[in-house]
Every structure is written in C-alpha cells, then in structure tokens.
C-alpha cells in the first residue's frame, strides 16, 4: 500500500476504515462466502482465482465485460485484471485482492476503476494491492521469502513451512479447455510456475466452489427473486407486444426494455423469441420474422440482476386463442410440468424430476399418436433437452443432475415438445423406422411446427419448491384472458 497510517492519525484512519467497511449486505455476504472457503482450504493452501479476460467483439471494440463467475462469487468485483489470493494459514492477512491500477487517462476513455478503498468497501477484503504487483508477490511467497512488510516470513509461516515440507497446495479453478483451445489463464499461470518453484501440488478448487455455489445465500436469493420479478414483468410486456403482423424483434425489444428500465444489468442469456415454426428451434437466435395470425410464439427470456440469472419461458398464441391442435400439445407440456413440480422436494434430484417428466410426456405423446411405444426412446424425437438445470450466477449454473436437492438450491423445470417433420425425414430408413413413420406421419403432419416450452424458476424450500415466476400467466385460461386484456386476472396465485 502506498500510504500507511502514522500513529498521530491512527485513530482517524481506524475510524475511516471502520466507516468505509461499514458492511453492505453484499460485502457481508461475500465475507462469509470466503470465510467458509478459507475454513475448507486449510492452512497449507494458497488459492488463486483469476478474472475473465476481455473478449474482442470487432476491431478495437470489446464485448460487454463479463466477470468470471467464481471470482465474482468470492469478490463481487466486475472489472477485469482482478485476482483473489486466499492464504488461510496466514497470521492476519488471509485474503488479498489485486485490482487494476487506476489510470486517469484510461478512465477518461473507458470509465471509472475501483480505488483501493472502494474495492475494500465492496468486497470486505482489507488487503488490496495493484495487479501489477501480483507476479512479484507470488514469486516471493513461493520462494518462501515473504513480500514486503505485510507478508513477511512470520505472516506466511504456515504456507512457507508447507512448501518446505512439500505439502503445500495451490488451489486453482482448473477449467478444462477444449482440445485445440488456447490454454486458459490458469493453465498459463501453472505453466509459468511449474519449473520455477517446488513444494506444492496444484489442486482443483472448482468442486468445492460448486458445492458452495449450489446453495444460495439469503443475499443471492434476494437478487434472484428480484431478477425473476423483473423477468416476469418483462415477459408480460412481451405478451402485450405480440400480435398478428408484429415482428419477433418487437416482442424482444419490449422485453429487454423492461429489463433495462428496471435496473437489470442485461439479459441472463440472449432472448429467444420464436414464432410459428421458429418455436421448434431451441435456441432460435434471430428475431426477424413477422408473426402470423393463429401461430404460437415461444419466448424464453429473463434478466440478470445483481449477477443472478433468472430463466422463464412462456408459449402463447399471437391471436390470443389457442387452436385445438396447439391446445393438445400445450396441455401435455403443462401437465408434465405440474407433475414434475410435485416430486421436486428436498432429497430429490434433477434426474428424478426429468424422469418423471419423460414418463408423463411419453403417455401424452402416445395418446396424440406421435409415438407408438412408451418403453424406449421414441419420445426423444419430440422432447430433446433436459427438464431442469440449476440457476444462479450462470443461467446454467454449477450442479449436476444427480446432486441431491436441499433448501436454498435454485433451478428450472422446463418440459417442452417440438414437432418437426425433419425429425422423421432424417431417421435412418430401417424397416422398424419405416413402420414407425407410417404409423405417426398423420399425427406429425397434424402437429407440424408446433413448439411449446413452459419454464419457471424455482427455489427449494424445506417443504418443497416455491415458484419464483408464478406471476406470469401460464394456464390456457389465464393466458387467453391476459392476451385479451393485457392484465392478469387475480393477482398472485
Ligand atoms: Mn432454462
């Protein structure tokens, strides 16, 4: 640190620090997230978490910056060139935050960078150093020399002695880069350290962070609830903008206007607004088609607020009334979601929720003549994705299908049915398939281009799930009433 408190002004400094660290709900939450991790890591570990790199959009223009999710989880810092170091064995400085040096000229061009005091206030971390000092810091610590007066031999004794005994652990997020991808920043860091320092083994911190991140803190739940409230309001604005002759992008604009107007940083994922046959494209990226009377519109769109991603899908008729054909598929998907919700209780898994959904969809698809056999995989022609995923800092958040659900976990339940003629056209022409096609072609023709997905965001509580996105009309009756009036009928249900 460039300036230290001299004794004469120590009291004032202490007061200033106490005031500047008067914890916000976020910084309190961050501090307790790190405290849990420090405990878990133990005294012979040094953890290093790196920020995400900026990504080039085109020429000298970058994409909007998105912080690495694990670094955000532990620091709340959203600027690049940020590094968090945790040394649980240290005497008093167990957390060190490295942030980009301030630079008035750069800030004139690209905006304010956190001062050290601001970084302390935001993160609750008292030791803040410039990122430009990180390499020297790391080299000194790994050489057991200590770094400056703040990290002298006494301060880092526990880790230094672990290094000396060959027991030290270097905890990093070991993201697997895909084959052919350039090495990640963490891999590059390990490479640099490999031949130069000894006494440590690298360990992957990702599984530990995963288990922590899966159970949301009260602060995170508050942010996710707000993200979902905004998303729900936006979905309803989208429903009001949908009409025969309107373009998909008009619905998208109405939705994203609400996100921004209500203070969300951005969408949680690019909005999916697909009308007619586009409703059968899972991640339909364009939104340039003109909606026609009688078609369905599938809208999968939600906001990111406070780095929490909500996730909601609704499918509704642009003319305001479901046709009988659309109703058949919609009723089935809604029934599947309702049945899945019933078994979403503590102790269940996303896999179990998915299996229940599949069973319900199979029965329904058989009745509609879209499959001939519920024992096998025929249903997968029309239901092509998983039923659930966890949500949180990432819209597809950490956590797997076999993790046991406990209170505080947040996830979606989103069955869908998508009828595309091309699916049976592309089946291998085996005798069994030709027989199947002969039996289901009439139904496929009847339901062709109907795509329905229904998705809500849920939080697990002690006695079952709570639907955070319940405000958006979902039953056929409520949707048709909303499309007529632009209003929900009965308040919260
Ligand atoms: Mn989803």
The tens digit of pLDDT for each residue in 179-222 reads 788 888 999 999 999 989 999 999 999 999 999 999 999 999 99
Asked if residue 146 belongs to a domain, the reply is yes
Question: Beta strands 168-172 and 200-204: pairing type?
Answer: parallel
pLDDT (mean) for 269-294: 96
Per-residue confidence (pLDDT) for residue 8, from 0 to 100: 42
CA of 389 to the centre of ligand 1 (A): 7
Same domain for 201 and 233:
no
Kindly state whether residue 16 falls inside one of the protein's structural domains: no
What pLDDT was estimated at residue 177?
Answer: 67
The pLDDT of residue 246 is above 80? yes
Report CA(379)–ligand 1 centroid distance (Å): 20
* Rounded distance from Cα 56 to ligand 1 centre (Å): 27
The predicted model gives 281-301 an average pLDDT of 96
Same domain assignment for residues 204 and 330: no
The token pair at 6 is 């001299």
How many C-beta neighbours within 10 Å does residue 15 have?
Answer: 10
Give residue 222 CA to ligand 1 midpoint distance, Å: 20
Report CA(156)–ligand 1 centroid distance (Å): 45
Q: Which of 19-28, 243-252, 426-435 shows the lowest mean pLDDT across its residues?
A: 19-28
Q: How many CB atoms lie within 10 A of CB 375?
A: 6
For the domain that residue 467 is a member of, what is the CATH number? 3.90.230.10
Same domain, 186 and 39: yes
Q: What pLDDT score does 465 carry?
A: 97
Check whether 120 has a pLDDT greater than 60: yes
Lowest mean pLDDT among 176-190, 235-249, 263-277: 176-190
Residue 6 lies in a domain: no
One domain, residues 287 and 139: no
DSSP code string of 242-266: --TT-BHHHHHHHHHHHHHHTT-SE
Given pLDDT bands bounded at 50, 70 and 90, which one contains residue 21?
low
* 86, pLDDT greater than 90: yes
Q: What is the CATH number of the domain that holds 120?
A: 3.40.350.10
- pLDDT band at 490; cut points 50, 70, 90: low
CA of 117 to the centre of ligand 1 (A): 38
Query: Quick check: helix, strand or coil at residue 178?
Result: coil
Percent residues over pLDDT 90 in the chain: 90
Among 189, 208, 227, the domain-final residue is: 208
**Cα 96 to ligand 1 centre (Å):** 36
Confidence at residue 353, expressed as pLDDT on a 0 to 100 scale: 98
Tell how far the Cα of 397 is from the centroid of ligand 1, in angstroms: 10
Q: How far, in Å, is the centroid of ligand 1 from the Cα of 301?
A: 9
- Same domain, yes or no, for 333 and 256? yes
Residue range 42-69, pLDDT digits in tens: 999 999 999 999 999 999 999 999 999 9
Query: Which has the higher per-residue pLDDT, 133 or 3?
Result: 133
Residues 351 and 282 in one domain: yes
Q: Of 154, 177, 208, at which residue does a domain stop?
A: 208
pLDDT of res. 466: 98
CA of 220 to the centre of ligand 1 (A): 18
The answer to whether residues 80 and 150 belong to one domain is yes
Q: Which of 45, 21, 52 is nearest to 393 (CA)?
A: 52
Number of domains within the chain: 2
Please give the pLDDT value at position 387: 98
CA of 417 relative to ligand 1 center, distance in Å: 14
pLDDT at residue 23 above 90?
A: no
Which of 180, 208, 236 is the last residue before a domain boundary? 208
**Interval between CA 411 and ligand 1 midpoint (Å):** 8
Q: Do both 162 and 259 map to the same domain?
A: no
Query: From the CA of 80, how far away is ligand 1's center (Å)?
Result: 28
Q: Are residues 372 and 435 in the same domain?
A: yes
**Other beta carbons less than 10 A from residue 220's beta carbon:** 22
The domain in which residue 57 lies consists of 21-208
What is the distance in A from the centroid of ligand 1 to the CA of 413? 8
Give yes or no: residues 249 and 137 share one domain. no
For the chain, what is the mean pLDDT?
93
Residues 138 and 241 in one domain: no
- Angle, alpha carbons 380-384-386 (nearest 5°): 110
What pLDDT is attached to residue 18?
47
Give the span between the Cα atoms of 226 and 236, in whole angstroms: 16
Q: Quick check: is 475 in a domain?
A: yes
Which pLDDT value is given to residue 316? 98
If you measure from the C-alpha of residue 144 to the centroid of ligand 1, how many angstroms do you get, rounded to a whole number?
Answer: 47
* β-strand partners of 46: 170
What is residue 153's predicted lDDT score, i.e. its pLDDT?
A: 95
Instruction: Indicate whether 309 and 165 sit together in one domain.
Output: no
Residue range 63-82: mean pLDDT, rounded: 96
- The answer to whether position 262 is within a domain reads yes
50/19 Cα distance (integer angstroms)? 29
The b/e string for 398-435 (b: 16+ C-beta within 10 A; e otherwise) is bbebebebeebbbbbbbbbbbbbeeebeeeeeeeeeee
Instruction: Tell me, yes or no, whether 194 lies in a domain.
Output: yes
Residue 493: what pLDDT? 40
Residue 352 domain flag: yes
Q: How far is the CA of 106 from the centre of ligand 1 (A)?
A: 38
Q: What is the pLDDT of residues 383-424, one digit of tens each?
A: 999 999 999 999 999 999 999 999 999 999 999 999 999 999
């Amino acid at each position: 640190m460039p300036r230290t408190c001299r004794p004469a002004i120590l009291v004032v400094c202490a007061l200033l620090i106490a005031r500047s660290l008067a914890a916000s709900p976020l910084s309190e939450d961050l501090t307790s997230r790190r405290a849990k991790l420090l405990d878990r890591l133990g005294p012979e570990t040094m953890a290093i978490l790196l920020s995400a790199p900026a990504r080039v959009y085109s020429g000298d223009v970058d994409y909007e910056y998105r912080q690495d999710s694990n670094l955000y989880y532990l620091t709340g810092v959203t600027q690049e060139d940020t590094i968090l170091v945790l040394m649980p064995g240290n005497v008093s400085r167990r957390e060190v935050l490295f942030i980009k040096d301030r630079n008035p000229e750069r800030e004139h061009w690209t905006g304010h960078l956190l001062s050290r005091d601001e970084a302390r206030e935001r993160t609750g971390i008292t030791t803040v150093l410039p990122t430009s000092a990180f390499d020297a810091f790391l080299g000194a610590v790994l050489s057991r020399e200590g770094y400056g007066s703040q990290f002298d031999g006494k301060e880092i004794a526990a880790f230094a002695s672990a290094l000396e005994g060959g027991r030290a652990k270097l905890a990093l997020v070991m993201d697997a880069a895909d084959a052919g991808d350039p090495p990640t920043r963490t891999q590059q860091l390990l490479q640099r350290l490999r031949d130069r320092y000894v006494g440590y083994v690298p360990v992957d911190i990702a599984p530990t962070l995963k288990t922590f991140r899966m159970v949301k803190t009260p602060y995170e739940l508050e942010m996710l609830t707000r993200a979902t409230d905004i998303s729900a309001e936006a979905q309803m604005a989208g429903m009001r903008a949908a009409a025969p002759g309107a373009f998909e992008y008009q619905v998208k604009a109405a939705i994203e206007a609400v996100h921004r107007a209500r203070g969300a940083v951005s969408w949680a994922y690019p909005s999916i607004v697909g009308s007619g046959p586009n409703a059968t494209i899972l991640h339909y990226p364009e939104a340039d088609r003109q909606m026609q009377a009688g078609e369905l519109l599938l809208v999968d769109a939600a906001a990111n607020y406070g780095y929490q991603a909500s996730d909601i899908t609704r499918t509704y008729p642009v003319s305001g009334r479901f046709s009988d054909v659309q109703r058949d598929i919609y009723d089935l998907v809604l029934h599947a979601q309702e049945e899945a919700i019933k078994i979403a209780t503590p102790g269940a898994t996303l896999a179990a929720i998915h299996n229940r959904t599949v069973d319900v969809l199979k029965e329904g698809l058989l009745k509609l003549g879209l499959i001939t056999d519920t024992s096998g995989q025929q249903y997968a022609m029309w239901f092509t994705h998983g039923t659930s995923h966890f949500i949180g800092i990432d819209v597809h958040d950490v956590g797997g299908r076999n993790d046991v659900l406990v209170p505080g976990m947040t996830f979606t339940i989103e069955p869908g049915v998508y009828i595309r003629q091309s699916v049976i056209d592309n089946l291998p022409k085996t005798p069994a398939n030709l027989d199947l096609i002969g039996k289901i072609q009439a139904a496929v023709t009847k339901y062709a281009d109907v795509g329905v997905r229904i998705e809500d965001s849920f939080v697990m509580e002690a006695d079952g799930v709570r639907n955070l996105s319940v405000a958006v009309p979902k039953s056929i009756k409520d949707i048709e009433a909303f499309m007529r009036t632009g209003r929900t009928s009965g308040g919260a249900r």
